[in-house]
Structure 1
Amino acid sequence: MYKEPVFLKPVFQERIWGGEKLQKLFDYDIPSETTGEAWVISAHENGPSIVMNGELKGMSLLEVWRNYPGLFGSETTGSDFPLLVKILDANDQLSVQVHPDDAYAKEKAQMPYGKTECWYILDCEEGAEIIIGHQAKSREEFQELVSKGEWQKLFQRIKVKKGDFVYVPSGTLHSIGKGIVILETQQSSDITYRLYDYDRVDQEGKKRELHLEEAMAVMTCPHQQVMQENLKEQLNNLQSTRLVEGEYFTVYHWMLGGKVEVPVTTAFLLVSVISGSGQIVTEESVSTVKKGDNFIVPATIGNYFIDGELEMIVSHT
C-alpha cells in the first residue's frame, strides 16, 4: 500500500491578523483576505488535512493515522498524530503568547500535547521583527512590568530575514511580527495563552481573550535562549541542512539540484515544497511536485528518487 507520496489538501484558518499572501505566494485558494494560516499537514481535530491521491483519497489524515498505522512504520498508532505543519501569513502583528509543555497541557487542559514549535522564514518585509523571549530577571519583575504595561521594556525583539530559522520551545514568550510569512513545524497542539494583544478588537468590537494567569504559570523565567547548530551535508545533488534536532521533531532544509536517490528509512517524512518543481519516482509511480505541495512520504514507499530543482522543508519525529 502507498508506494507513492500521500499528498494533502491544506485547511485554511481565518485570523484577525491574516492577509492574502498564501494565495500570492503559493496560489492557494484562500477563503478571504484575512486568511492567517494554512494547516498543510494536519491530523488535528480542529482542521485535519484531506488525502488527495491514491487508495485513501478523500479520507482525513486523522482517519488514516488511526486506521492505517503501517503507513507510519508502526503496528499501532494508539497516540495522537505527533506533528502539525502550518504556513502563516502575518499581515499584522500576532499576539504575544506562550505555550505550555506536555505536563501542563495534560494536567490543566486535558490535552495530549503541549506545544514546542519552530519557524522557517519564507518571506518578510525589510526590517521585520519577531518577539522571542523577555528581559525580566524574575517573575516578580515580569509581573511588575506587565501591571505597568511597560511592554517595550519587557519584550525581546530581533530582526529577521528570509531563510532565518527560529526554535521556540514551550514556555518561550513569542510573537510573529507584521509582514512575515513562516512555515511552522510544531507539536500537534492548538493551545495558546495570550499575554498581550495590542488592545485590538474584532469585527464585533470585542477584544480577544487574554490568559494572563496561564501565561504566567507556563512561561520560562528568566528567558533561556536555546541555540541550535546547523549541520550541513552534501549528498550528490542534495544539500541537506539540519535546522533542529529535538525531543519532538527533527527539521531539515533540503535544496535539490538534480536527481537524488533517497535512502530508505523506517520512518515517515513530512515534506513541504517551498520553491521549484520536480518529480518523485518510486518503483510503481511518478509524482509531479511543485511549490506549495505538501505530502507525507510513508514508511511503505520503498526505494525512490527525487529529481528537479526543489527547495523543501522536511521533518520527522
Structure 2
Amino acid sequence: MKPTPLAPNLIDHFYLGGGRIAALRGIEQTSERQPEEWLAATVSRAGAGDVGLARTVDGDLLRDLVIADPAAWVGEHHADAADASDTGILVKLLDAGQRLPVHVHPDRGFAASHLDCPYGKTEAWFVLEADAGAAVHLGWKEAVDRDELDRRRDAQDSEWMLDHMNRIEVERGMGVLVPAGTVHAIDGGIFVAEVQEPTDFSIVLEWSVTTSTREESHLDLGFDTVMPAVSVDRLDESALASLVTRNDLSARGASARSLLSAEADPYFRLFLAAPDAGNETPVPSGFGVALVLEGSGSLVADTGDEVEYRSGQVFAVPASFGPWRVRGEGSILVAEPGAGWPSTLTGGIR
C-alpha cells in the first residue's frame, strides 16, 4: 500500500485565522474563522459529527480505510489500538489570527476515568512562522491557589492568568511540548504544525475572548469535576527548558532529524526529512503523516514503490509501505505515533 494524498480539511472554529494555512496548502478560505486544518484525522471534533475527519483526494474517509484494513495502515499490533480506526496521532495546522484562550487538556488518567478514552491530550507545537515578538504562554511561573484560580476563572480575569504564566517568545523552527494538565495559550501571529494525542478534549479557562461560552468550556462535566485535571504547580525554568527545542528548518541532511523534546516520545514523534542534493533521507517505518513544506520529489519504499510529492501536499503513510526514503529537493515534516505505540495503551479495541 502506498502513501495516500489527502484533500484540504479546513475547520471552522471560534477564533480567527487560516491565511497561512491556505497559502501553504494552495487553497482558499471560505471564512475568516478557519484557523485549523486537521491532517490525516480519523477522529472528529467533539460533538460535531464527522467534522474534522480527513478525506483522500478521491473523497474517501481515511477513518473508513483504516477500519477496512488496520493491519496495513497501523501494523500488526493494531489490536492493541483504542479502536479499529485509531492511528495513535492527530496532526493539525494552526494559524492563530488572534490570541487563543488560556486552556488545559486532561491527561490519560482523567480521560480514562471520566471520558471513556485511553488518550488524554498531550500536544506539541512546531513553529512554521511567527510575527516578531509573538509568544506562547505555558505553565505557571509560581504555584497558584486552586480557590484563587476558580475565582479568577469565574471573573474571566485574563490579565491575572497571563501574568502568572511563563511567556516564551517563539521563532521559526522552535518546538514546544505541552504536557497534559498544563495551562497554555498562543498569541496571534503564530503558525504551527501541532502534533497531539488523537482527541478533542479542552478545558477552557478563558472563554470570554472567544465565541464560546462557559457551558461549552468544561467537557460537559462541570468545573467542579474538571478542575482537578488542571495543574496548579509551578513549571520552573529547568522544566520549561526541557520542553523547548530549537531547529534550523533550512538545514538538510542524510537522516531524518527529531524536532521535539525527548519527553514527547511516549506520545508522538516529529521528524524533518530534507535530503541533501542527490541523496535520500530515510524515515522510520510505521503509520505517519507527511506534510510537504517545500520542494518536490518522491517518497520511495525499499520495495521500489514510489509516490511523487510537491509543496503543500499532505500524505497518510501506511505502515505497510515499510521503511521509506525522501528523494528530491523537498523538506517534509513527518509525524508518527509515540514509541512503542499501540502497546503503550491499555484496553485495546473496544
TM-score by length of 1: 0.84
* 3-state SS of paired residue (2:192): strand
Once structures 1 and 2 are overlaid, which stretch shifts more, 20-29 or 189-198? 20-29
Corresponding residue number in structure 1 for 2:291: 272
> How far apart are the structure 2 equivalents of 1:274 and 1:217?
39
User: C-alpha deviations, 1:206-228, integer Å up to 9, x for none?
Assistant: 77844354553212221333515
Count how many residue pairs are aligned between Structure 1 and Structure 2.
307
- 5+ long unaligned stretches in structure 2: 46-51, 338-350
> How far apart are the structure 2 equivalents of 1:15 and 1:247?
29
Name the one with the larger strand percent.
1
Question: What does 1:1-317 align with in structure 2 at a 5 Å threshold?
Answer: 2=1, 4-19=2-17, 20-46=19-45, 47-52=52-57, 57-71=58-72, 72-74=74-76, 76-77=78-79, 78-80=81-83, 81=86, 82-140=88-146, 142-143=149-150, 146=153, 149=157, 150-201=160-211, 209-211=216-218, 212-213=223-224, 216-224=227-235, 225=239, 227-228=242-243, 237-238=254-255, 240-245=257-262, 246-261=265-280, 263=282, 267-282=286-301, 283=303, 285-302=305-322, 304-317=324-337
TM-superposed CA distance for 1:84, in Å, is 0.4
In 2 relative to 1, CA 181–231 (structure 1 residues): closer, same or farther, beyond 3 Å?
closer
Amino acid at match of 1:134: W
TM-superposed CA distance for 1:197, in Å, is 3.2
In 2 relative to 1, CA 13–62 (structure 1 residues): closer, same or farther, beyond 3 Å?
same
In 2 relative to 1, CA 301–167 (structure 1 residues): closer, same or farther, beyond 3 Å?
same
* 3-state SS of paired residue (1:35): coil
Amino acid at match of 2:334: V
User: Are the equivalent residues in 2 in contact too, given 1:201–1:207 (CA < 8 A)?
Assistant: no
Name the one with the larger helix percent.
2
TM-superposed CA distance for 1:117, in Å, is 0.4
> How far apart are the structure 2 equivalents of 1:248 and 1:91?
28
User: Are the equivalent residues in 2 in contact too, given 1:69–1:75 (CA < 8 A)?
Assistant: no
Once structures 1 and 2 are overlaid, which stretch shifts more, 160-169 or 257-266? 257-266
Q: CA RMSD in A?
A: 2.9
TM-superposed CA distance for 1:27, in Å, is 1.4
* 3-state SS of paired residue (2:16): strand
* 3-state SS of paired residue (2:172): coil
User: Are the equivalent residues in 1 in contact too, given 2:174–2:244 (CA < 8 A)?
Assistant: no
> How far apart are the structure 2 equivalents of 1:192 and 1:65?
26
- 5+ long unaligned stretches in structure 1: none
Identity of aligned residues (%): 26
